[in-house]
């Protein structure tokens, strides 16, 4: 459970650092460079710890069968970043992974990019006269290497494969301070799907139509059919579902900001002042939807008020508190959990109410613990809606309309 906190802390620090050094340059995507037109872009999602991993085929290799002449890699789905990168050989320093490093020199479709030759190159960030990149997180973790263009393959039904060429991504040859405890480790890099030009959703252009969705179950199983869906099939809402839609807000970080108006606990509004969670003039503040943060984080004052309201709810039902490592507030419960959990509701703009439900709590043996934490005073975002709070919902992001929609769904049913 300490890992959930460290992952969330890393995200809080990451956003604080991104806001502090945010560049003003914005990138636009030329959609004409992708050569093929796949009808279905639907990478399968698997899980490692609290991370979502997308299965993506990369490259073209003459020594492999024509039907599967690429290598599969598992990239962490990240709505909070834009660059796609995976570890490549030869590697100066890489973290341990189960799959072999990507051998870009052997791929017949890989292209290195001369310095400043492509709109997605980082301006004047070059090594050996080639476009390169370097990402450093506030926690000291970093990845660096070269930018190149490559074919990405997406497996679909019936064994068929659709490919998109000329996807710009990073070949990571030096990863520092990135430690992954799980063995075997299947994380090979990052699949950035933020709002910036380097993200997969924007590089896919008219194939994605600025649309993607995911639906992740709270209780995960290796046999689940879970997909990250782009384009025409991203909108899978059914008529019977109650769908909420709220507007995306432009912020300093190229990610998915929404306007959080208030929070209620067990039907009681906490009545935060108007604009409490809004983006401030210096770019700090705001509320984001983040697939890379397990826990939901709130400013210290807001977190204390939520924690006190939850504590009062359980105290009225005479549930004793109990200490659990890594958690601020836990209550002793029976195996049957006879006492109903309080409904924690985030009130978003346009009457879009996100009910956290079980996503606000974690069961820890004989206890149930609040799965929220303080984001502290790091100068970053005000609130992060983490992956646990998103579980058992379908989230549909529409970059063209500037909206995000969500609805309760059984995410184990061919999602």
Cα(179)–Cα(163) distance, integer angstroms: 32
Cα(347)–Cα(120) distance, integer angstroms: 37
Burial class of 85 by CB neighbour count within 10 A (0 to 12, 13 to 18, 19+): buried
Grouping H, G, I as helix, E, B as strand and the rest as coil, residue 378 is: coil
Task: Please list the residues that pair with 147 across neighbouring strands.
Answer: 170
Residues 6+ apart with CB under 8 A from 179: 95
Query: What local confidence, expressed as pLDDT, does residue 24 receive?
Result: 38
Q: pLDDT (tens digit, 0 to 9) for every residue of the chain, 415 residues total?
A: 556 666 676 666 666 666 665 533 333 333 333 334 446 788 988 888 878 899 999 999 998 887 789 999 999 999 988 999 999 999 999 999 999 999 999 999 999 999 999 999 999 999 999 999 998 755 567 899 999 999 999 987 666 678 999 999 999 999 988 878 788 999 999 999 999 999 999 999 999 999 999 998 876 665 568 899 999 889 989 888 999 999 999 998 899 999 999 999 999 999 999 999 999 998 889 999 998 888 899 999 999 999 999 999 999 988 889 999 888 999 988 767 677 899 999 999 999 999 998 889 988 888 899 999 998 755 578 899 999 999 999 999 999 999 999 999 988 766 7
Residue 193: closest CA among 180, 204, 181, 178: 204
Q: Which domains does the chain have, with CATH numbers?
A: 31-233 (2.40.70.10), 244-408 (2.40.70.10)
Cα(22)–Cα(1) distance, integer angstroms: 32
Query: What local confidence, expressed as pLDDT, does residue 36 receive?
Result: 40
Query: What local confidence, expressed as pLDDT, does residue 412 receive?
Result: 76
Cα(285)–Cα(258) distance, integer angstroms: 11
Q: How far is CA 310 from CA 172, 210, 275, 305, 317, in A?
A: 44, 38, 23, 9, 11
């Amino acid at each position: 459970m300490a890992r959930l906190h460290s992952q969330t802390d890393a995200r809080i620090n990451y956003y604080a650092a991104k806001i502090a050094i945010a560049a003003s340059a914005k990138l636009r995507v030329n959609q004409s460079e992708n050569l093929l037109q796949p009808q279905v872009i639907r990478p399968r999602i698997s899980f490692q710890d609290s991370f979502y991993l997308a299965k993506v085929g990369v490259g073209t290799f003459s020594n492999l069968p024509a039907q599967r002449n690429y290598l599969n890699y598992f990239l962490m789905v990240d709505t909070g970043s834009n660059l796609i990168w995976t570890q490549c050989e030869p590697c100066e320093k890489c973290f341990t992974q189960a799959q072999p490093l990507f051998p870009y020199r052997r791929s017949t479709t890989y292209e290195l990019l001369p310095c400043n030759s492509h709109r997605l190159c980082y301006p004047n960030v070059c090594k050996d006269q080639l476009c390169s990149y370097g990402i450093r997180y506030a926690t000291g973790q970093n990845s660096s290497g070269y930018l190149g263009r490559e074919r990405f393959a997406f497996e679909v039904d019936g064994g068929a494969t659709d490919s998109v060429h000329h996807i710009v991504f990073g070949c990571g040859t030096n990863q520092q301070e990135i430690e992954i405890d799980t063995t075997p480790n299947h994380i090979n890099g990052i699949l950035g799907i933020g709002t910036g030009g380097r993200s997969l959703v924007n590089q896919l252009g008219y194939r994605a139509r600025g649309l993607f969705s995911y639906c992740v179950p709270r209780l995960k199983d290796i046999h689940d059919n879970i997909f990250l869906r782009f384009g025409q099939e991203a909108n899978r809402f059914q008529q019977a579902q109650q769908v909420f839609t709220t507007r995306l807000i432009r912020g300093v970080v190229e990610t998915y900001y929404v306007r959080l108006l208030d929070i209620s606990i067990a039907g009681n509004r906490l009545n935060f002042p108007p604009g409490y969670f809004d983006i401030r003039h210096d770019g700090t503040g705001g509320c984001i939807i983040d697939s890379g943060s397990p826990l939901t984080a709130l400013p210290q004052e807001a977190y204390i008020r939520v924690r006190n309201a939850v504590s009062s709810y359980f105290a009225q039902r005479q549930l004793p508190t109990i200490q659990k490592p890594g958690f601020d507030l836990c209550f002793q419960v029976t195996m049957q959990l006879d006492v109903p959990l309080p409904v924690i509701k985030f009130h978003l703009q346009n009457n879009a109410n996100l009910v956290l439900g079980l996503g606000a709590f974690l069961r820890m043996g004989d206890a149930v613990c609040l799965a929220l934490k303080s984001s502290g005073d790091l100068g970053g975002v005000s609130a992060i809606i983490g992956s646990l709070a998103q579980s058992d919902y379908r989230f549909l992001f529409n970059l063209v309309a500037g909206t995000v929609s969500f609805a309760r769904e059984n995410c184990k049913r061919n999602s």
